[in-house]
Amino acid sequence: MNYISAILRIICGIVLIFLSCSTYQRISKHIADGGQIQIFGFTTSASSGELALGVIGLIGIFLVTLGVISLVSKRK
């Protein structure tokens, strides 16, 4: 009935996971060369793993999990 919200959660979660992985790939070479990470023009001391796969990746996984749980629970 209301599967659209669960499907949107799954799609948004997958997009967030993809963006965090692509960001990690983009900045890992820059960090290996000894450069500093900048977010919106501000230099941060976070490592590339913490920055790219940290909070954004976890939010993506959380959204995918919530979407799957919503789909499974609505089928019963």
**Domain residue ranges of the chain, discontinuous segments joined by +:** 1-26+48-76
Between these two residues, 56 and 10, which has the higher pLDDT value? 10
Q: What is the pTM of this model?
A: 0.64
In the predicted structure, residue 6 carries a pLDDT above the cut 70: yes
Q: What distance separates the 2 farthest-apart alpha carbons in the chain?
A: 54
Confidence category of residue 23, pLDDT binned at 50, 70, 90? confident
Max mean pLDDT among 16-20, 31-35, 40-44, 47-51 falls in: 16-20
Please write the tens of the pLDDT for every residue from 39-73. 666 776 666 556 656 677 788 888 888 888 888 88
Q: How far apart are CA 48 and CA 61, in angstroms?
A: 19
